[in-house]
Every structure is written in structure tokens, then in C-alpha cells.
Structure 1
Amino acid sequence: MDILLAKHAGYCYGVNRAIKMTLDASEQRGGPIYTLGPLIHNPQVVDKLTERGIFPVEDIHEVEGGGIIIVRCHGIDPKVILEAKNRGLRVIDATCPYVRKVQNKASLLVKEGYFLVILGERGHPEINGIVACAAGEHIVL
């Protein structure tokens, strides 16, 4: 049986960018770094990052002041970023630029008075980030 690998197989741009940002921060820091949730949906990569001193946490309060926290590819509620900065954490925002574009558009549409219909898995981090940015009337389907 022949197995063909697609020419463009592998991680998307946003994931490659987030991994590079995280590894660069790790090399500069020399100490533990934390990601808010797993950086990407790939347990093998998360394990490799953990071996390098990059640990996923579920809440910014798990990180001591002065620590570095990296926002995962899926993005988060902008209020969480502000709270992290106010707690003295250094925030590296690795939100995928395409996800950020959707978050910004959701925010704009709600400000213009639109009712937002979001298609996606309720509770998924990316959807949660979009909902938080929309901060208005919406439904998730």
C-alpha cells in the first residue's frame, strides 16, 4: 500500500506561529513559562513543551506575578489578558491572526447592532474567545 503525504501537510500558519513564539520566549526566559490552556490541540506537542519547561495552566491565578503566560492559538477573553497584566504577568498573545480577525469582526458587528450567529462548538476555547469579544446579543449553534 502506498501512502501519499500531501504537499502542504502539517500545522497551519497560526499553530506554527504560536509554537515559534513560545519556543522563542522559552529560550529568552530560561525559566518556566505557562500557556493558558494547552497551546494547541496536540497532546504530543504539549508533552514536548512541558519537557522544555512550558506548562499549561487553566487559570492565570496559577502563575505567580512576574511570570510569563502565553495565550493559546484559539484566543481568550480580552478581559483575561488585562487581568493578567494587572497581576504583573508578562502576556505573550499567540492568538492566531485569523482567529483575531474573527474576534474583531464579531465585536464590530455587535457594536453595529447585529445579532451574532456563531457556528461552532459551544465551550470550545476559540468560540469562547469570539463570544467574549462580541459581548452582545448572540447565539452559538
Structure 2
Amino acid sequence: MTVFPKVDIVTVGAGWTAGIIAQQLTAEGYRVVSIEVGGDRFANPDFAHNHDTLYHILRTGLMTNLSKETWTWRPNPRAPALPIRQYGSFHPGVGIGGAGVHWAAQTWRFYPTDFRYRSHHIERYGAKRIPDG
């Protein structure tokens, strides 16, 4: 069995709350370890990132897998508690950053075309494809 060094404090999760608490405690001299479920989100050294919309957005790749773990929900106090099987406004995240990541709490670098969006699309698709206004 692996034996890790003793620490003063362990946080369960490394999302916004636990991440801020861990940072503040280490600044005060405490030894802190955060235990996080899910994979890491470390990008390349220059912070380039693969923006995989299908995986990250449509298939909720950064969120808890509801077929393995879920919560219950009641539309009113008399209704039975039913498991959440489809995401609505509640998106519990997994991995470093937790649920704060799913709504762009991490600000990715812009592409060069983002700074010339209109010109880029006119060059690519023609001026007639750009709506007035």
C-alpha cells in the first residue's frame, strides 16, 4: 500500500470552493491535499486546447455521468423523488475546476480569427451570408 506524507487538511473536491479554500490555507502555511474525482484538465504548456464541442458540450464530458451517479429531484413536495437522468440547469462537474468549468469559468485563449470574425466569414462565405444589422 502506498503511504503518502501526512498533511494538515484534505479537501474533498477541487472545484471553486475547495480550490479557493486550499489556496488560502496553503498561504497560511498549512499542508493541503485535494482529492478530486475525474480526470485532469491540464493543457499543453502554451495552453493550447482541443475544443471538442461534441464531447465537452453535447455529450457533457466534463460533467458527472448520470448513468453511474445521480441526484433526485421533486417538482413539488408531494411528488416522488426521481433520479435526474438528463441535464437541465444543474450541471455537476467532475475533475479539476468542478462544475465551474462547464460555463466557461476557464477562459480559453482566442483564435486569431476571433479578432476578425466578420472579415473572416466574408472571406470564407461571401458578404451575402452576413445578415444586415
Higher alpha-carbon Rg: 2
> If the length of structure 1 is used for normalisation, what is the TM-score?
0.30
| Larger proportion of strand | 1
More helix by proportion, 1 or 2? Answer: 1
